[in-house]
Amino acid sequence: MNYRRFIKGALCAGILAIAPAARAQWTVYDPANHIQNILQAVRTLEEVENQIEQLAHEIEMLENMSRNLETLPVNVAEAIILDRINHISELMREAEGIGYGVETVERDYDAAYPETYGATPPSDAALVEDARQRWRQSRLAYRDTLVTISAALADNETDAGAIAGLVERSQSAAGALQAAQAGNQIEAMQTEQLMQIEAMMAAQYRAEALDHARELAEEERARARFQRFMEN
């Protein structure tokens, strides 16, 4: 009887000792905790997606900045403008007779177009030679005008093609810098054309001024010849 009680007590003590370990191995499902874990995972995913979107915006901004800093591959206007201006300037320097320089005008104008022949006019032969020289001067001045105009107009087709190309580059520019550079080159081409127009006007005014000076000198020559005629 005592043995049974001992065995029964031992079994109960063993069960009590094993029960906590057995309970620790069981899985208990908690719906509220499961939902909380899902919501936490969703919030984490949203944060990751927001970070990815922010990085994408930053990459796009950097790409736009890079495009805005891209320069035109070639300077279309520079080679054309320098060539045109230098050509016109060379033609004007080569003008025959009284040219465009201030020193040349001050030195040669009074000799070629005298205000008066004085009290004793030169011989008729000298007066005729003076008149011939002035006629040559006017003829050369008008020739220089035509040469300058021809040079300015000779490359209009090239200028028009360059401007059209620059407009196309401006419209298809990768960024703001390329568009601005194309616009600047177009303005430079327009400035070059205005300079050519100024050169043509200067040549025309020169020819007209020399021709008017020839007419005035012819009046003085006629007076001098009449004076010699009366003296003789």
Q: Is residue 13 part of a domain?
A: no
| pLDDT above 70 as % of the chain | 78
Residue 19: the pLDDT is: 46
My answer on whether 63 and 112 are in the same domain is no
Given a cut of 70, is residue 186 above it in pLDDT?
A: yes
Task: Reduce the DSSP state of residue 174 to 3 states and report it.
Answer: coil
Residue 15: the pLDDT is: 44
- What tokens does 167 get? 């407009």
**Which of 16, 40, 68 is the last residue before a domain boundary?**
68
My answer on whether 179 and 140 are in the same domain is yes
My answer on whether 155 and 212 are in the same domain is yes
Q: Is 97 left (phi over 0), alpha (psi -120 to 50) or beta?
A: left
- What tokens does 7 get? 């065995």
Residue 74: the pLDDT is: 61
Q: Is residue 188 part of a domain?
A: yes
- What tokens does 209 get? 């001024």
My answer on whether 54 and 113 are in the same domain is no
Given a cut of 50, is residue 41 above it in pLDDT?
A: yes
Q: Is residue 3 part of a domain?
A: no
For range 107-126, the mean pLDDT? 80
Q: Give the residue from 178, 171, 172 showing the smallest Cα distance to 66.
A: 178
pLDDT in tens, 190-219: 888 888 888 888 888 888 888 888 888 888
Residue 29: the pLDDT is: 61
Residue 60: the pLDDT is: 73
When computed from its CA atoms, the radius of gyration of the chain, rounded to whole angstroms, is: 50
Q: Is residue 54 part of a domain?
A: yes
My answer on whether 62 and 85 are in the same domain is no
pLDDT in tens, 60-111: 777 667 666 666 666 766 767 777 788 888 888 777 777 777 777 877 888 8
- What tokens does 112 get? 């070629």
SS3 per residue for 21-85: HHHHCCCCCCHHHHHHHHHHHHHHHHHHHHHHHHHHHHHHHHHHHHHHCCCCCCCHHHHHHHHHH
- What tokens does 20 get? 């906590």
pTM of this prediction exceeds 0.75: no
My answer on whether 46 and 80 are in the same domain is no
Q: Which residues contact 172 (CB under 8 A, 6 or more apart)?
A: none
Task: Reduce the DSSP state of residue 112 to 3 states and report it.
Answer: helix
| Choice among 16-20, 80-84, 170-174, 225-229 with the minimum mean pLDDT | 16-20
Residue 35: the pLDDT is: 75
Q: Contact at 8 Å (CB) between 166 and 189?
A: yes
Distance, in Å, from the CA atom of 131 to the CA atom of 226, rounded to the nearest integer, reads 15
Task: Reduce the DSSP state of residue 121 to 3 states and report it.
Answer: coil
Residue 16: the pLDDT is: 46
My answer on whether 51 and 154 are in the same domain is no
For range 156-170, the mean pLDDT? 76
My answer on whether 61 and 173 are in the same domain is no
pLDDT in tens, 3-36: 445 444 544 554 444 444 444 455 566 777 777 8
- What tokens does 135 get? 């006629």
My answer on whether 149 and 55 are in the same domain is no
Residue range of the domain that includes 43: 31-68
My answer on whether 186 and 110 are in the same domain is yes
- CATH code, domain with 195: 1.10.287
**Which of 68, 92, 121 is the last residue before a domain boundary?**
68
Alpha helices by DSSP H, listed for the chain, are: 2-24, 31-68, 76-93, 102-112, 124-154, 156-171, 176-231
My answer on whether 50 and 81 are in the same domain is no
- Between 168 and 214, the more confident residue is 214
Q: How many C-beta neighbours within 10 Å does residue 76 have?
A: 21
My answer on whether 125 and 200 are in the same domain is yes
